Structure 1
Amino acid sequence: MKKGKSMLSKMNLINEVGAHVNTIDQLYKSSILNRRGKTTNGELFTEVIAEELLRLDIKNRLKEINEVVRESGYRVTTHDGVVTTGHKEEDSNRKEERVAIQLFNLSQSGKIFNGIGRIMDYQVPLKNSSADKGLGKIDLISLVDDCMVLIEFKINENRETLLRCVLEIATYYQVLSKSKCFVWIL
Protein backbone atom coordinates (compact mmCIF):
# COMPACT_ATOMS: atom_id res chain seq x y z
CA MET A 1 0.00 0.00 0.00
CA LYS A 2 1.24 3.51 -0.81
CA LYS A 3 2.67 5.57 1.98
CA GLY A 4 0.10 7.95 3.45
CA LYS A 5 -2.95 5.82 2.69
CA SER A 6 -4.77 4.60 5.74
CA MET A 7 -5.29 0.91 6.24
CA LEU A 8 -8.88 -0.23 6.56
CA SER A 9 -10.02 -3.51 8.01
CA LYS A 10 -12.60 -5.63 6.25
CA MET A 11 -14.95 -5.23 9.22
CA ASN A 12 -14.71 -1.42 9.17
CA LEU A 13 -15.45 -1.42 5.45
CA ILE A 14 -18.44 -3.74 5.92
CA ASN A 15 -19.78 -1.44 8.66
CA GLU A 16 -19.48 1.55 6.31
CA VAL A 17 -21.42 -0.30 3.61
CA GLY A 18 -24.16 -1.09 6.12
CA ALA A 19 -24.47 2.57 7.04
CA HIS A 20 -24.79 3.65 3.39
CA VAL A 21 -27.25 0.97 2.26
CA ASN A 22 -29.99 2.62 4.34
CA THR A 23 -30.20 5.41 1.77
CA ILE A 24 -30.64 3.03 -1.14
CA ASP A 25 -31.66 5.65 -3.70
CA GLN A 26 -28.41 7.55 -3.08
CA LEU A 27 -26.10 4.58 -2.52
CA TYR A 28 -24.52 4.82 -5.96
CA LYS A 29 -23.26 8.34 -5.08
CA SER A 30 -21.49 7.18 -1.95
CA SER A 31 -17.74 7.76 -2.01
CA ILE A 32 -17.26 4.31 -0.51
CA LEU A 33 -18.01 2.77 -3.93
CA ASN A 34 -15.00 4.50 -5.47
CA ARG A 35 -12.54 3.31 -2.87
CA ARG A 36 -9.50 1.69 -4.37
CA GLY A 37 -7.03 -0.44 -2.58
CA LYS A 38 -7.00 -3.39 -0.26
CA THR A 39 -8.13 -4.09 3.27
CA THR A 40 -5.61 -4.86 5.99
CA ASN A 41 -5.91 -8.56 5.12
CA GLY A 42 -5.32 -7.94 1.39
CA GLU A 43 -8.84 -8.12 -0.07
CA LEU A 44 -9.82 -5.57 -2.71
CA PHE A 45 -12.20 -2.91 -1.37
CA THR A 46 -14.56 -3.30 -4.33
CA GLU A 47 -14.78 -7.06 -3.79
CA VAL A 48 -15.56 -6.70 -0.09
CA ILE A 49 -18.16 -4.01 -0.82
CA ALA A 50 -19.81 -6.02 -3.61
CA GLU A 51 -19.89 -9.15 -1.44
CA GLU A 52 -21.51 -7.21 1.41
CA LEU A 53 -24.08 -5.62 -0.91
CA LEU A 54 -25.05 -9.06 -2.17
CA ARG A 55 -25.29 -10.34 1.40
CA LEU A 56 -27.56 -7.37 2.20
CA ASP A 57 -29.82 -8.39 -0.73
CA ILE A 58 -29.09 -5.32 -2.85
CA LYS A 59 -31.20 -6.65 -5.72
CA ASN A 60 -34.39 -6.52 -3.66
CA ARG A 61 -33.35 -3.38 -1.79
CA LEU A 62 -33.09 -1.53 -5.11
CA LYS A 63 -36.78 -2.31 -5.67
CA GLU A 64 -37.55 0.01 -2.73
CA ILE A 65 -36.58 3.00 -4.87
CA ASN A 66 -39.58 5.02 -6.01
CA GLU A 67 -40.30 5.61 -9.66
CA VAL A 68 -40.22 9.23 -10.85
CA VAL A 69 -42.81 9.87 -13.53
CA ARG A 70 -41.77 12.54 -16.01
CA GLU A 71 -44.98 14.32 -16.89
CA SER A 72 -43.46 15.63 -20.11
CA GLY A 73 -42.11 12.22 -21.08
CA TYR A 74 -38.53 11.33 -21.88
CA ARG A 75 -38.14 12.65 -25.40
CA VAL A 76 -36.01 15.79 -25.42
CA THR A 77 -36.68 17.88 -28.51
CA THR A 78 -33.21 19.46 -28.41
CA HIS A 79 -31.50 16.07 -28.75
CA ASP A 80 -30.50 16.57 -32.34
CA GLY A 81 -26.98 15.20 -32.15
CA VAL A 82 -25.36 18.62 -31.84
CA VAL A 83 -23.01 19.38 -28.96
CA THR A 84 -24.12 22.47 -27.06
CA THR A 85 -21.60 25.00 -25.76
CA GLY A 86 -21.22 26.79 -22.48
CA HIS A 87 -19.54 24.09 -20.38
CA LYS A 88 -15.94 23.63 -19.38
CA GLU A 89 -14.12 21.47 -21.92
CA GLU A 90 -12.15 19.61 -19.23
CA ASP A 91 -15.27 18.44 -17.38
CA SER A 92 -15.24 14.60 -17.60
CA ASN A 93 -19.06 14.43 -17.58
CA ARG A 94 -19.04 16.78 -20.55
CA LYS A 95 -16.56 14.51 -22.36
CA GLU A 96 -18.85 11.55 -21.69
CA GLU A 97 -21.76 13.55 -23.12
CA ARG A 98 -19.74 14.27 -26.28
CA VAL A 99 -18.99 10.56 -26.72
CA ALA A 100 -22.68 9.74 -26.18
CA ILE A 101 -23.65 12.25 -28.88
CA GLN A 102 -21.06 10.83 -31.28
CA LEU A 103 -22.41 7.31 -30.74
CA PHE A 104 -25.97 8.58 -31.19
CA ASN A 105 -25.03 10.28 -34.46
CA LEU A 106 -23.34 7.13 -35.76
CA SER A 107 -26.42 5.13 -34.91
CA GLN A 108 -28.71 7.67 -36.60
CA SER A 109 -26.70 7.26 -39.78
CA GLY A 110 -27.37 3.50 -39.75
CA LYS A 111 -24.68 2.05 -37.46
CA ILE A 112 -25.89 -0.83 -35.29
CA PHE A 113 -23.43 -1.61 -32.49
CA ASN A 114 -22.74 -5.22 -31.53
CA GLY A 115 -24.19 -5.92 -28.11
CA ILE A 116 -25.84 -2.54 -27.64
CA GLY A 117 -27.88 -2.24 -30.82
CA ARG A 118 -29.28 0.99 -32.24
CA ILE A 119 -28.90 4.04 -30.02
CA MET A 120 -32.21 5.88 -29.69
CA ASP A 121 -31.23 8.80 -27.44
CA TYR A 122 -28.52 10.19 -25.19
CA GLN A 123 -28.34 12.02 -21.86
CA VAL A 124 -31.96 11.13 -21.06
CA PRO A 125 -33.13 13.12 -18.00
CA LEU A 126 -34.79 11.38 -15.09
CA LYS A 127 -35.98 14.38 -13.09
CA ASN A 128 -39.58 15.48 -13.44
CA SER A 129 -38.95 18.74 -11.59
CA SER A 130 -36.17 20.49 -9.71
CA ALA A 131 -37.60 18.94 -6.53
CA ASP A 132 -36.29 15.55 -7.68
CA LYS A 133 -32.88 15.85 -6.07
CA GLY A 134 -29.93 13.67 -6.90
CA LEU A 135 -31.12 12.29 -10.22
CA GLY A 136 -28.88 12.39 -13.23
CA LYS A 137 -29.27 11.36 -16.83
CA ILE A 138 -29.07 8.00 -18.55
CA ASP A 139 -26.05 8.18 -20.86
CA LEU A 140 -27.60 6.18 -23.71
CA ILE A 141 -30.79 4.29 -24.45
CA SER A 142 -30.64 1.74 -27.24
CA LEU A 143 -32.70 -1.02 -28.77
CA VAL A 144 -31.47 -4.56 -29.23
CA ASP A 145 -34.16 -6.49 -31.07
CA ASP A 146 -37.25 -5.65 -28.98
CA CYS A 147 -35.35 -4.91 -25.78
CA MET A 148 -34.58 -1.47 -24.46
CA VAL A 149 -31.06 -1.16 -23.05
CA LEU A 150 -29.97 1.50 -20.56
CA ILE A 151 -26.29 2.30 -20.83
CA GLU A 152 -24.08 4.07 -18.30
CA PHE A 153 -20.49 4.46 -19.42
CA LYS A 154 -17.35 6.12 -18.18
CA ILE A 155 -14.48 7.54 -20.19
CA ASN A 156 -10.89 6.61 -19.32
CA GLU A 157 -10.25 9.75 -17.28
CA ASN A 158 -13.20 8.99 -15.00
CA ARG A 159 -11.99 7.47 -11.73
CA GLU A 160 -15.28 5.87 -10.73
CA THR A 161 -15.30 2.12 -10.20
CA LEU A 162 -17.28 -0.39 -12.22
CA LEU A 163 -19.24 -1.16 -9.04
CA ARG A 164 -20.37 2.46 -8.80
CA CYS A 165 -21.31 2.48 -12.49
CA VAL A 166 -23.42 -0.66 -12.13
CA LEU A 167 -25.24 0.69 -9.06
CA GLU A 168 -25.86 3.99 -10.84
CA ILE A 169 -27.62 2.40 -13.82
CA ALA A 170 -29.50 -0.03 -11.55
CA THR A 171 -30.76 2.97 -9.55
CA TYR A 172 -31.73 4.83 -12.73
CA TYR A 173 -33.64 1.77 -13.94
CA GLN A 174 -35.68 1.76 -10.73
CA VAL A 175 -36.41 5.50 -11.01
CA LEU A 176 -37.38 5.30 -14.68
CA SER A 177 -41.10 5.30 -15.46
CA LYS A 178 -41.06 2.14 -17.57
CA SER A 179 -44.52 2.58 -19.13
CA LYS A 180 -43.72 6.12 -20.31
CA CYS A 181 -40.26 5.22 -21.51
CA PHE A 182 -41.32 2.03 -23.35
CA VAL A 183 -44.10 3.90 -25.18
CA TRP A 184 -41.64 6.58 -26.27
CA ILE A 185 -38.82 4.30 -27.36
CA LEU A 186 -40.80 1.66 -29.24
Structure 2
Amino acid sequence: MLKSKEAYEFICKGINRKDKFDEFETLFGQYKNDTTEDTVNIKKVKQRDNDGDIKRFAANFYKSSIVNYKGYVQGASQADKNRYSEVIASTLLSKNLLKTWTDLKPVRSNHFDTNHSPSEIVDMKKLQGTNRKEEILAKLLFYQREVDGLGYIFDYQTPLKATQNDSYGKIDLLGYNTDDDCYSVIELKYRPSGSEETLLRCVLEAYTYYKLLDLKQIKSDVDHAGIKALKKELPKYKHTDKSELVILFDEKSCTDDDGGVETNLLLRIDPVVVDKPNYPSKTVVSQQYKECQELINPSKRKNLRALCEAILKQESKLKQIRFVVLRIEDIDKAVPLKNVQNWSSELDRSYRAETLLTIPSKG
Protein backbone atom coordinates (compact mmCIF):
# COMPACT_ATOMS: atom_id res chain seq x y z
CA MET A 1 0.00 0.00 0.00
CA LEU A 2 1.28 3.46 -0.91
CA LYS A 3 2.69 5.42 2.04
CA SER A 4 2.56 9.17 2.55
CA LYS A 5 6.32 9.51 2.11
CA GLU A 6 6.11 7.65 -1.22
CA ALA A 7 3.28 9.89 -2.40
CA TYR A 8 5.19 13.03 -1.44
CA GLU A 9 8.34 11.71 -3.10
CA PHE A 10 6.40 11.16 -6.35
CA ILE A 11 5.48 14.85 -6.33
CA CYS A 12 8.99 16.08 -5.49
CA LYS A 13 10.50 14.00 -8.29
CA GLY A 14 7.85 15.19 -10.72
CA ILE A 15 8.84 18.83 -10.24
CA ASN A 16 12.56 18.03 -10.13
CA ARG A 17 12.86 19.18 -6.51
CA LYS A 18 14.09 16.14 -4.60
CA ASP A 19 15.63 18.56 -2.11
CA LYS A 20 12.13 19.44 -0.87
CA PHE A 21 11.70 15.87 0.36
CA ASP A 22 13.58 17.08 3.44
CA GLU A 23 10.38 18.87 4.46
CA PHE A 24 8.55 15.56 4.79
CA GLU A 25 9.20 15.11 8.50
CA THR A 26 7.92 18.58 9.41
CA LEU A 27 4.94 18.44 7.09
CA PHE A 28 3.63 14.98 7.90
CA GLY A 29 5.02 14.37 11.38
CA GLN A 30 6.85 11.23 10.31
CA TYR A 31 10.57 10.58 9.91
CA LYS A 32 11.61 9.87 6.34
CA ASN A 33 13.28 6.59 7.27
CA ASP A 34 10.77 5.41 9.89
CA THR A 35 7.81 3.15 9.52
CA THR A 36 4.43 4.58 10.38
CA GLU A 37 4.21 2.40 13.49
CA ASP A 38 7.61 3.54 14.79
CA THR A 39 6.75 7.18 14.30
CA VAL A 40 3.45 6.89 16.11
CA ASN A 41 5.09 5.10 19.02
CA ILE A 42 7.98 7.55 19.26
CA LYS A 43 5.93 10.72 18.98
CA LYS A 44 2.78 9.31 20.60
CA VAL A 45 0.73 11.04 17.97
CA LYS A 46 -2.98 10.49 18.50
CA GLN A 47 -4.82 10.87 15.23
CA ARG A 48 -8.06 9.02 15.72
CA ASP A 49 -9.17 9.81 12.20
CA ASN A 50 -5.87 8.82 10.57
CA ASP A 51 -5.87 5.04 10.87
CA GLY A 52 -4.07 4.81 7.55
CA ASP A 53 -0.76 6.52 6.94
CA ILE A 54 -1.77 7.77 3.51
CA LYS A 55 -4.44 9.95 5.12
CA ARG A 56 -1.62 12.14 6.39
CA PHE A 57 -0.78 12.97 2.81
CA ALA A 58 -4.34 14.01 1.96
CA ALA A 59 -4.85 15.98 5.18
CA ASN A 60 -1.59 17.92 5.05
CA PHE A 61 -0.39 18.14 1.47
CA TYR A 62 -1.99 21.54 0.79
CA LYS A 63 0.35 23.03 3.44
CA SER A 64 3.47 22.00 1.54
CA SER A 65 5.60 24.86 0.25
CA ILE A 66 5.83 23.25 -3.19
CA VAL A 67 2.07 23.63 -3.67
CA ASN A 68 2.62 27.38 -3.57
CA TYR A 69 5.46 27.45 -6.10
CA LYS A 70 5.07 29.77 -9.08
CA GLY A 71 7.02 29.65 -12.30
CA TYR A 72 8.31 26.64 -14.19
CA VAL A 73 10.01 23.38 -13.31
CA GLN A 74 13.77 23.84 -13.44
CA GLY A 75 15.29 22.53 -16.65
CA ALA A 76 11.97 22.45 -18.50
CA SER A 77 10.75 24.80 -21.19
CA GLN A 78 8.51 27.67 -20.13
CA ALA A 79 5.38 26.01 -21.47
CA ASP A 80 2.14 26.15 -19.52
CA LYS A 81 2.24 22.40 -18.84
CA ASN A 82 5.62 22.82 -17.11
CA ARG A 83 4.41 25.22 -14.43
CA TYR A 84 5.00 23.81 -10.96
CA SER A 85 1.28 23.80 -10.15
CA GLU A 86 0.41 22.13 -13.44
CA VAL A 87 2.96 19.35 -12.96
CA ILE A 88 1.79 18.76 -9.38
CA ALA A 89 -1.86 18.64 -10.47
CA SER A 90 -0.93 16.23 -13.26
CA THR A 91 0.99 13.97 -10.87
CA LEU A 92 -1.89 13.86 -8.39
CA LEU A 93 -4.06 12.55 -11.21
CA SER A 94 -1.64 10.27 -13.06
CA LYS A 95 -0.47 8.54 -9.85
CA ASN A 96 -4.08 8.26 -8.60
CA LEU A 97 -3.16 10.22 -5.47
CA LEU A 98 -6.36 12.26 -5.46
CA LYS A 99 -8.23 9.14 -4.39
CA THR A 100 -6.54 9.33 -0.97
CA TRP A 101 -8.81 12.27 -0.07
CA THR A 102 -11.81 9.92 -0.05
CA ASP A 103 -10.49 8.39 3.18
CA LEU A 104 -10.73 11.68 5.08
CA LYS A 105 -13.67 11.82 7.49
CA PRO A 106 -14.97 14.45 9.94
CA VAL A 107 -13.58 14.04 13.46
CA ARG A 108 -15.06 16.93 15.43
CA SER A 109 -18.28 16.16 17.29
CA ASN A 110 -19.47 19.79 17.19
CA HIS A 111 -18.26 22.32 14.62
CA PHE A 112 -20.55 25.00 16.02
CA ASP A 113 -19.68 25.24 19.72
CA THR A 114 -17.81 28.51 19.16
CA ASN A 115 -20.46 31.05 20.24
CA HIS A 116 -20.06 32.91 16.95
CA SER A 117 -22.89 35.42 16.51
CA PRO A 118 -23.52 37.76 13.55
CA SER A 119 -25.17 40.25 15.91
CA GLU A 120 -22.52 40.36 18.64
CA ILE A 121 -21.56 43.91 19.60
CA VAL A 122 -18.01 44.74 18.51
CA ASP A 123 -15.96 47.91 18.21
CA MET A 124 -14.49 48.46 14.75
CA LYS A 125 -11.39 50.14 16.14
CA LYS A 126 -10.64 47.18 18.41
CA LEU A 127 -11.52 44.72 15.66
CA GLN A 128 -9.03 46.32 13.27
CA GLY A 129 -6.25 46.51 15.86
CA THR A 130 -4.47 43.41 14.57
CA ASN A 131 -2.52 42.30 11.51
CA ARG A 132 -4.85 39.33 10.95
CA LYS A 133 -6.67 41.17 8.17
CA GLU A 134 -7.98 38.06 6.42
CA GLU A 135 -9.74 36.98 9.61
CA ILE A 136 -11.11 40.50 10.11
CA LEU A 137 -12.51 40.49 6.59
CA ALA A 138 -14.10 37.09 7.24
CA LYS A 139 -15.80 38.48 10.36
CA LEU A 140 -17.12 41.49 8.46
CA LEU A 141 -18.63 39.22 5.81
CA PHE A 142 -20.17 37.13 8.60
CA TYR A 143 -21.65 40.26 10.18
CA GLN A 144 -23.00 41.40 6.80
CA ARG A 145 -24.65 37.99 6.35
CA GLU A 146 -26.03 38.34 2.82
CA VAL A 147 -23.35 39.07 0.22
CA ASP A 148 -24.69 39.63 -3.27
CA GLY A 149 -23.11 37.19 -5.71
CA LEU A 150 -21.79 34.94 -2.94
CA GLY A 151 -24.68 33.89 -0.71
CA TYR A 152 -25.67 33.97 2.95
CA ILE A 153 -22.72 33.70 5.37
CA PHE A 154 -23.62 31.90 8.60
CA ASP A 155 -20.24 31.08 10.16
CA TYR A 156 -16.55 31.95 10.02
CA GLN A 157 -13.40 30.20 11.26
CA THR A 158 -15.35 26.94 11.63
CA PRO A 159 -13.16 24.48 13.60
CA LEU A 160 -12.44 20.99 12.28
CA LYS A 161 -10.02 19.40 14.75
CA ALA A 162 -11.15 17.08 17.55
CA THR A 163 -8.01 17.40 19.68
CA GLN A 164 -5.04 19.74 19.86
CA ASN A 165 -2.94 17.00 18.25
CA ASP A 166 -5.01 17.13 15.07
CA SER A 167 -3.35 19.14 12.32
CA TYR A 168 -6.55 20.45 10.76
CA GLY A 169 -7.25 24.14 10.31
CA LYS A 170 -10.50 26.10 10.22
CA ILE A 171 -12.90 26.85 7.39
CA ASP A 172 -12.70 30.57 6.62
CA LEU A 173 -16.40 30.97 5.86
CA LEU A 174 -19.49 28.79 5.61
CA GLY A 175 -22.34 30.02 3.48
CA TYR A 176 -25.54 29.02 1.75
CA ASN A 177 -25.81 29.60 -1.99
CA THR A 178 -29.41 30.72 -2.49
CA ASP A 179 -29.13 30.52 -6.29
CA ASP A 180 -27.98 26.90 -6.41
CA ASP A 181 -29.49 25.66 -3.11
CA CYS A 182 -26.30 24.29 -1.63
CA TYR A 183 -23.84 25.02 1.15
CA SER A 184 -20.64 26.90 0.34
CA VAL A 185 -17.29 25.90 1.80
CA ILE A 186 -15.43 29.15 1.25
CA GLU A 187 -11.67 29.52 1.20
CA LEU A 188 -10.90 33.24 1.57
CA LYS A 189 -7.57 34.67 0.47
CA TYR A 190 -6.70 38.26 1.32
CA ARG A 191 -3.66 40.34 2.19
CA PRO A 192 -3.49 44.16 2.06
CA SER A 193 -0.28 43.80 0.06
CA GLY A 194 -1.78 41.20 -2.30
CA SER A 195 -2.24 37.48 -1.59
CA GLU A 196 0.38 35.26 -3.21
CA GLU A 197 -1.09 31.79 -2.70
CA THR A 198 -1.69 29.68 -5.80
CA LEU A 199 -5.08 28.43 -6.92
CA LEU A 200 -3.75 24.89 -6.55
CA ARG A 201 -3.18 25.55 -2.85
CA CYS A 202 -6.63 27.14 -2.54
CA VAL A 203 -8.47 24.27 -4.22
CA LEU A 204 -6.68 21.55 -2.25
CA GLU A 205 -7.23 23.39 1.03
CA ALA A 206 -10.94 23.91 0.35
CA TYR A 207 -11.37 20.28 -0.70
CA THR A 208 -9.56 19.00 2.40
CA TYR A 209 -11.77 21.11 4.65
CA TYR A 210 -14.91 19.96 2.85
CA LYS A 211 -13.98 16.35 3.57
CA LEU A 212 -13.55 17.15 7.28
CA LEU A 213 -16.89 18.95 7.63
CA ASP A 214 -19.99 17.13 8.87
CA LEU A 215 -22.88 18.90 7.12
CA LYS A 216 -25.47 17.04 9.18
CA GLN A 217 -24.44 19.12 12.18
CA ILE A 218 -25.91 22.20 10.48
CA LYS A 219 -29.34 20.59 10.45
CA SER A 220 -29.15 19.30 14.01
CA ASP A 221 -27.68 22.43 15.64
CA VAL A 222 -30.04 24.46 17.81
CA ASP A 223 -27.69 26.91 19.56
CA HIS A 224 -25.44 28.54 16.97
CA ALA A 225 -26.64 32.11 16.33
CA GLY A 226 -25.49 32.13 12.71
CA ILE A 227 -27.39 28.95 11.88
CA LYS A 228 -30.47 30.26 13.68
CA ALA A 229 -30.32 33.44 11.59
CA LEU A 230 -29.86 31.38 8.41
CA LYS A 231 -33.01 29.37 9.09
CA LYS A 232 -35.00 32.45 10.13
CA GLU A 233 -33.93 34.99 7.51
CA LEU A 234 -34.03 32.77 4.42
CA PRO A 235 -37.65 31.62 3.95
CA LYS A 236 -36.67 29.30 1.10
CA TYR A 237 -33.77 27.73 2.99
CA LYS A 238 -33.85 23.95 3.11
CA HIS A 239 -31.16 21.67 4.48
CA THR A 240 -29.33 19.72 1.80
CA ASP A 241 -26.43 17.34 1.45
CA LYS A 242 -25.14 19.28 -1.56
CA SER A 243 -22.22 21.70 -1.38
CA GLU A 244 -19.85 23.75 -3.48
CA LEU A 245 -16.26 24.81 -3.04
CA VAL A 246 -15.72 28.56 -3.35
CA ILE A 247 -12.33 30.19 -3.79
CA LEU A 248 -12.89 33.82 -2.76
CA PHE A 249 -10.20 36.43 -3.36
CA ASP A 250 -9.38 40.08 -3.91
CA GLU A 251 -8.59 41.39 -7.38
CA LYS A 252 -5.91 43.85 -6.35
CA SER A 253 -4.73 46.16 -3.60
CA CYS A 254 -4.26 49.68 -4.92
CA THR A 255 -2.26 52.69 -3.84
CA ASP A 256 -4.06 55.91 -3.00
CA ASP A 257 -3.13 57.36 -6.40
CA ASP A 258 -4.51 54.28 -8.18
CA GLY A 259 -7.93 54.74 -6.59
CA GLY A 260 -7.54 52.50 -3.56
CA VAL A 261 -10.27 54.36 -1.69
CA GLU A 262 -12.80 53.09 -4.26
CA THR A 263 -11.54 49.52 -4.63
CA ASN A 264 -9.59 48.26 -1.61
CA LEU A 265 -11.43 45.79 0.60
CA LEU A 266 -9.99 47.28 3.78
CA LEU A 267 -8.71 50.80 4.41
CA ARG A 268 -7.84 50.34 8.08
CA ILE A 269 -4.78 48.23 7.36
CA ASP A 270 -2.48 49.78 9.95
CA PRO A 271 -3.29 48.06 13.29
CA VAL A 272 -1.82 50.99 15.22
CA VAL A 273 -3.52 53.85 13.37
CA VAL A 274 -6.99 52.44 12.71
CA ASP A 275 -8.87 55.73 12.40
CA LYS A 276 -7.14 56.75 9.16
CA PRO A 277 -7.00 55.09 5.72
CA ASN A 278 -3.76 53.41 4.72
CA TYR A 279 -2.68 52.06 1.36
CA PRO A 280 0.00 49.68 0.08
CA SER A 281 3.17 51.24 -1.29
CA LYS A 282 2.44 49.80 -4.74
CA THR A 283 -0.58 48.37 -6.52
CA VAL A 284 -0.48 44.56 -6.51
CA VAL A 285 -2.79 42.13 -8.32
CA SER A 286 -3.50 39.00 -6.28
CA GLN A 287 -2.03 35.69 -7.42
CA GLN A 288 -5.49 34.11 -7.41
CA TYR A 289 -6.93 36.73 -9.75
CA LYS A 290 -4.01 36.41 -12.18
CA GLU A 291 -4.26 32.62 -12.25
CA CYS A 292 -8.04 32.69 -12.58
CA GLN A 293 -7.77 34.85 -15.69
CA GLU A 294 -5.54 32.13 -17.13
CA LEU A 295 -7.82 29.32 -15.96
CA ILE A 296 -10.71 30.94 -17.83
CA ASN A 297 -8.67 30.48 -21.02
CA PRO A 298 -9.27 26.86 -22.17
CA SER A 299 -5.71 26.62 -23.48
CA LYS A 300 -4.09 27.35 -20.11
CA ARG A 301 -4.03 25.72 -16.67
CA LYS A 302 -5.46 22.54 -18.21
CA ASN A 303 -4.20 20.28 -15.42
CA LEU A 304 -5.64 22.48 -12.69
CA ARG A 305 -9.00 22.39 -14.45
CA ALA A 306 -8.68 18.61 -14.84
CA LEU A 307 -7.95 18.34 -11.11
CA CYS A 308 -11.09 20.33 -10.29
CA GLU A 309 -13.15 18.13 -12.59
CA ALA A 310 -11.68 15.00 -11.00
CA ILE A 311 -12.59 16.26 -7.51
CA LEU A 312 -16.16 16.84 -8.65
CA LYS A 313 -16.33 13.40 -10.27
CA GLN A 314 -14.98 11.85 -7.08
CA GLU A 315 -17.52 13.65 -4.85
CA SER A 316 -21.13 13.05 -5.89
CA LYS A 317 -22.45 15.64 -3.43
CA LEU A 318 -20.26 18.48 -4.69
CA LYS A 319 -22.16 20.53 -7.27
CA GLN A 320 -19.41 22.85 -8.45
CA ILE A 321 -16.21 24.76 -7.77
CA ARG A 322 -16.56 28.53 -8.05
CA PHE A 323 -13.80 31.10 -8.40
CA VAL A 324 -15.12 34.37 -7.03
CA VAL A 325 -13.64 37.84 -6.71
CA LEU A 326 -14.72 39.91 -3.71
CA ARG A 327 -15.41 43.59 -4.32
CA ILE A 328 -16.65 46.53 -2.30
CA GLU A 329 -20.23 47.61 -2.83
CA ASP A 330 -20.71 51.06 -4.35
CA ILE A 331 -19.87 53.48 -1.56
CA ASP A 332 -23.27 55.16 -1.75
CA LYS A 333 -24.93 51.74 -1.33
CA ALA A 334 -22.92 50.70 1.72
CA VAL A 335 -25.05 49.66 4.68
CA PRO A 336 -23.59 50.24 8.16
CA LEU A 337 -23.33 47.12 10.30
CA LYS A 338 -25.71 47.66 13.20
CA ASN A 339 -23.69 45.55 15.62
CA VAL A 340 -20.36 47.26 14.85
CA GLN A 341 -19.62 50.38 16.85
CA ASN A 342 -17.52 53.13 15.23
CA TRP A 343 -18.40 51.91 11.73
CA SER A 344 -17.48 54.73 9.36
CA SER A 345 -18.76 55.43 5.85
CA GLU A 346 -15.36 56.95 5.06
CA LEU A 347 -13.30 53.99 6.24
CA ASP A 348 -15.56 50.93 6.12
CA ARG A 349 -17.39 49.15 3.34
CA SER A 350 -20.13 46.72 2.39
CA TYR A 351 -19.24 43.86 0.06
CA ARG A 352 -20.46 42.08 -3.03
CA ALA A 353 -18.99 39.27 -5.10
CA GLU A 354 -18.56 38.39 -8.76
CA THR A 355 -18.14 34.83 -10.00
CA LEU A 356 -15.40 34.72 -12.62
CA LEU A 357 -15.56 31.00 -13.34
CA THR A 358 -17.70 28.03 -12.34
CA ILE A 359 -16.54 24.49 -12.99
CA PRO A 360 -19.69 22.34 -12.68
CA SER A 361 -20.05 18.69 -11.83
CA LYS A 362 -20.79 16.55 -14.86
CA GLY A 363 -22.63 14.00 -12.77
* TM-score, structure 2 normalization: 0.41
* Residue from 123, 126, 144 that aligns with 2:157: 123
Secondary structure of 1:63's partner? helix
* Residue from 136, 139, 144 that aligns with 1:101: 139
In 2, the alpha carbon distance for the partners of 1:76 and 1:162 equals 29
* Residue from 177, 180, 190 that aligns with 1:155: 190
> Deviation of residue 152 (structure 1)?
0.5
> Which residue is equivalent to 1:166?
203
In terms of fraction of residues, the more strand-rich structure is 2
In 2, the alpha carbon distance for the partners of 1:183 and 1:83 equals 32
Q: Structure 1 residues 9, 125: closer, same or farther in 2, change over 3 A?
A: closer
Let me know the Cα RMSD of the aligned residues: 3.2
**Residue by residue, what CA displacement relative to the aligned partner does 1:118-151 show, whole Å, maximum 9, x if unpaired?**
111111111223232x111111111113311100
In 1, the alpha carbon distance for the partners of 2:13 and 2:165 equals 38
In 2, the alpha carbon distance for the partners of 1:179 and 1:88 equals 36
Contact 2:116 2:155 in 1 (8 A): no
Q: Structure 1 residues 112, 178: closer, same or farther in 2, change over 3 A?
A: same
* Residue from 106, 115, 128 that aligns with 1:77: 115
In 2, the alpha carbon distance for the partners of 1:13 and 1:28 equals 17
Q: Structure 1 residues 88, 14: closer, same or farther in 2, change over 3 A?
A: farther
* Residue from 15, 30, 35 that aligns with 2:64: 30
Where does 1:36-115 land on structure 2 (aligned, <5 Å)?
Answer: 36-39=70-73, 40-41=75-76, 42=78, 43-70=82-109, 72-80=110-118, 82=122, 89-90=130-131, 94-107=132-145, 111-114=146-149
Q: Structure 1 residues 14, 98: closer, same or farther in 2, change over 3 A?
A: same
In 2, the alpha carbon distance for the partners of 1:88 and 1:9 equals 44
Aligned positions, number: 169
Query: With CA pairs under 8 Å and 6+ residues apart, which has the higher RCO, 1 or 2?
Result: 1
Contact 1:13 1:49 in 2 (8 A): no
> Deviation of residue 177 (structure 1)?
2.0
* Residue from 141, 146, 156 that aligns with 2:174: 141
* TM-score, structure 1 normalization: 0.75
Contact 2:105 2:212 in 1 (8 A): yes
- Could you list the runs of 5+ residues in structure 2 that have no partner in the other structure? 1-11, 29-53, 222-226, 228-238, 240-363
Contact 2:173 2:186 in 1 (8 A): yes
Secondary structure of 1:176's partner? coil
Contact 2:106 2:214 in 1 (8 A): yes
- Could you list the runs of 5+ residues in structure 1 that have no partner in the other structure? 1-7
> Deviation of residue 58 (structure 1)?
4.2
Q: Structure 1 residues 83, 130: closer, same or farther in 2, change over 3 A?
A: farther
